[in-house]
Chain A
Amino acid sequence: MLRSLRSELLKISTTRIWWILAAILFGYVGLTAAGMAALFTTIRQQPEGQLITAEMVPPLVYSVATAVGYVFPLLFGALATTTEFRHQTLTPTFLATPRRSAVLGGKVIAGAVWGVVYAVVGLLAAVGLGALVLAATGQETLLGDSDVWALLGRIVLAMMLWAMIGVAFGVLVSNQVAVIVIVLAFTQFVEPLLRLASSFWEWSARIGGYLPGAASDALVGSSIFTAFSGAATADSLEWWQGGLVLGGYAALFLVIGGLTTWRRDVT
């Protein structure tokens, strides 16, 4: 397992996709966080903008790292597994390690490690640029606040879980094109609509809380999405429940994928 993990980490670092995604993540999250910091500064300068207190702004800005950035570790994890199917590199992989469960274990842990890397990149962008704009415009950054540091810790955990979900989902679907289409369509289009629709009734909002994106927001505890759709926040899960739901998705995909595509003949 340890050797498999080393091999999997090396697989990631010897191809280019990880830093391409990391660069886009940094730019996307950094621009969004800086833009939001500037926007809140302007709003708070309006008389009616005082409803938003100084303490509310930094968590919203920093949680951009997951709120818009979670799709990157997810996509990364999914690509890391489907690339093996696509380029038939499962052949040398399984020749070196015939115990396929050990390979799978190594992949999931390597995915988790890289999820932390993406969390660091996302936080450098969100906190780095976001706090810079907040400080420059004379707003509170709350960087000395332990609650904010706990938030950052939960963001790291969320990004790690998203990368693991990606790895597991890649095993389940195995077709690289299909995985990219499903991940982008679901995260950017289907899930936001489902979350919006579920917020209309109390019973559906409770179910909607178990959608992966909603669970992720619950885990992090702050997000622009939940902040502006009031109904959903009331029924959102506790932070640890959100973490368990995300872990549950990863485990579910992993078990089904591990029992189906992963056991197939490699021809």
Chain B
Amino acid sequence: MTGAVIEIQSLTKRFGGTTAVDDLSFRVEPGVVTGFLGPNGAGKTTTLRSLVGLVRPTSGRATFDGTSYAELPNPLRTVGTALEAASFHPGRSGRDHLRVVGAAAGIPTARVDEVLAWVGLADAGGRRVGGYSLGMRQRLGLAFALLGDPGALVLDEPINGLDPEGIRWIRGFLRDLAAEGRTVLVSSHLLSEVQQTVDRVVIISRGRLAYEGTLDGLEGGAIARVHVDAADREALGRSLTAAGGQVEVAGDGLRVSGLDADAIGRHALAAGVPLRLLVPEREGLEDVFLGIVGEGEIR
């Protein structure tokens, strides 16, 4: 199976005076899991809703292999979408919910039972959705996305509300779907939530593209620092500053940037200062992510 290529081209959406998505462009390829990241309010949900035709963009296009969602002959068979956990009638059973949408797409009831079993809701399918936990609703949303056996999946915060066992389950699940050749786009406001699952990331902030590429590329942007200490801390600091490093005094030693561990060792030796600690540190991916999207900014 080869999923459709998702392409967002110069997408802009304004709600009244607020610009939710601002000239956004990116591509999502099949066969890998792509994370769509940004803080709450960055425009992720608006982008995804525009992609599947629920929101009319102010300008720009969003397509699957060049075709907009509304023009797909049988959209559920091309694109599976899970948007939010609340879009179910509480008085209808999970199974009936899938039968209702299945009927609209010409999908038989046998397939409904298949996807219910696939997401682990075979027993709960007959119960009313009003009694479901958030995790069960997420699973039902996934079942809806899988109903038409689509090549592309668009999932908005699918990990939100799952218990640890559910999180492990969905990570493997998304990887399997991508390994089958499907296009998998997963949004999240937490990088750590999808870090182990995604191969590529698209990061947006305030409706604009902030980063598009691999996780490794994102990591490359991390600033390396070295945690170093010596009995004569002052002498060590002097020699490293003279060598061009930025030295910061911390409670348990010095934090040096601008020099790598090798260089620090050599300079310490040259200055005759015996080291008692030399540890290269990497800034966490989460910090890089927050740096990109603007740390602590809440809109």
A residues lining the B interface (CB < 8 Å): 3-4, 6-7, 10-11, 14-17, 83, 87-89, 91-99, 265-267
Contact = CB atoms under 8 A, between A and B. Distances in A.
A7 B100 CA distance: 5
B274 interface: no
Contacts of A15: 89, 91-92
A10 B53 contact: no
Given A93-B101, A97-B104, A265-B49, 7 more contacts: A3-B104, A6-B103, A15-B91, A17-B91, A92-B97, A95-B52, A95-B75
Chain B contact-residue range equals 20 to 34
23 contacts: A3-B105, A6-B104, A7-B100, A10-B103, A14-B99, A17-B91, A87-B88, A88-B86, A88-B87, A91-B54, A91-B83, A92-B87, A92-B97, A92-B101, A92-B144, A94-B54, A95-B52, A95-B54, A97-B105, A98-B70, A265-B49, A266-B49, A267-B46
Contacts of B100: 7, 10-11, 14, 92
B86 A265 contact: no
Nearest to B148: A96
Nearest to A106: B104
Contacts of A87: 86-90
A119 B290 CA distance: 62
Interface of B: 45-46, 49, 52-56, 69-70, 72, 75-76, 81, 83-84, 86-93, 96-97, 99-101, 103-106, 144
B56 A265 contact: yes
Contacts of B46: 267
A258 B92 CA distance: 26
Contacts of B84: 88, 91
Contacts of A17: 91
Nearest to A11: B100
A3 B75 CA distance: 14
B102 to A, nearest CB: 8
A96 B100 CA distance: 10
Contact of A14 (B55, B70, B96, B105): B96
Contact of B75 (A10, A89, A91, A96): A96
A4 B102 CA distance: 10
Given A15-B91, A83-B89, A96 B76 contact: yes
Contacts of A97: 104-105
A17 B101 CA distance: 19
Contacts of A11: 89, 92, 100
A266 B55 contact: yes
B262 to A, nearest CB: 54
A91 B76 contact: no
Contacts of B54: 91, 94-95, 265-267
Contacts of A4: 104
B55 A94 contact: no
A82 to B, nearest CB: 12
A262 to B, nearest CB: 13
Contacts of B53: 94-95, 98
Contacts of B101: 7, 92-93, 95-96
Contacts of B45: 267
B104 A89 contact: no
A15 B100 CA distance: 11
Contacts of A10: 96, 99-100, 103
A40 B76 CA distance: 59
Contacts of A3: 103-106
Contact of B49 (A7, A14, A92, A267): A267
Contacts of A14: 92-93, 96, 99-100
A7 B53 CA distance: 20
